[in-house]
Amino acid sequence: MFTREYWKSSAQKLRQTEYLALIAMFIAVKCVAGAFYIPVGENLRILMTFVFVASEAAIIGPVAGAVSGMIADIVGFMIHPSGPFFFGYTITAMCGSVIYALFLYRQRITILRLALAKTVVNYGVNVLLGALWSQMLYGKGYIYYAGKSLVKNTMMLPAEIIILVLLFNVIVPILQKRRLIPNSTTVPLKLY
């Protein structure tokens, strides 16, 4: 994972036509899916875009995933703005893609990997970074936003992990058949 070849293989996806088309499709889907959310308070939403981010990250890796996350966030904001544009949220989108990729790209996908990836994204990115950005934008204290986000992300985590496991049980054979992910993953997904 921390080899030069690992990162280079992800970056090369940005030069290959078939992967560029796939990335463009994922960007479009993430932008459309981002328009549909359930608001649960000031600057807190329930979104389903994580399934597309995780799927894409498993295919294209951290470098291409970060680029895709950045583009999807900016284009998504232009299509359906909700509040002021803030580059911090673009960083959040990039970090989420990179974290999913570190757990899933060129790895044997397991239930534990999916659960750990989602947990790190929820708490490391959504809670810690999200609260920082909300504090910078809206002026209330960091702890206020972190507390609200912590409750929401903790409540959503089990359902989100189950959704990821169900999704990957369906898409892994398809992705393997198209040689988009390694054949080391078996279905149904193993625990670890």
Domain spans of the chain, in order of start:
4-177
The CATH fold assigned to 4-177 is Arp2/3 complex 21 kDa subunit ARPC3 (1.10.1760)
pLDDT at residue 1 is higher than 80: no
End-to-end CA distance of the chain: 17
User: What is the mean predicted confidence (pLDDT) over 128-144?
Assistant: 94
Count of CB atoms situated within 10 Å of the CB of 143: 11
Q: Is 41 left (phi over 0), alpha (psi -120 to 50) or beta?
A: left
Most trustworthy range by pLDDT among 80-89, 114-123, 152-161: 114-123
Asked if pLDDT for residue 39 goes beyond 90, the answer is no
Average model confidence (pLDDT) for the chain? Answer: 95
Residue 43: pLDDT band (50, 70, 90) is low
HEC-encoded secondary structure of the chain: CCCHHHHHHHHHHHHCHHHHHHHHHHHHHHHHHHCCCEECCCCCEECCCHHHHHHHHHHHHHHHHHHHHHHHHHHHHHHCCCCCCCHHHHHHHHHHHHHHHHHHCCCCCCHHHHHHHHHHHHHHHHHHHHHHHHHHHHCCCHHHHHHHHHHHHHHHHHHHHHHHHHHHHHHHHHHHHCCCCCCCCCCCCCCC
- The residues that bridge with 45 in the sheet, in sequence order, are 39
Does residue 41 or residue 68 have the better pLDDT?
Answer: 68
Please write the tens of the pLDDT for every residue from 4-34.
999 999 999 999 999 999 999 999 999 999 8
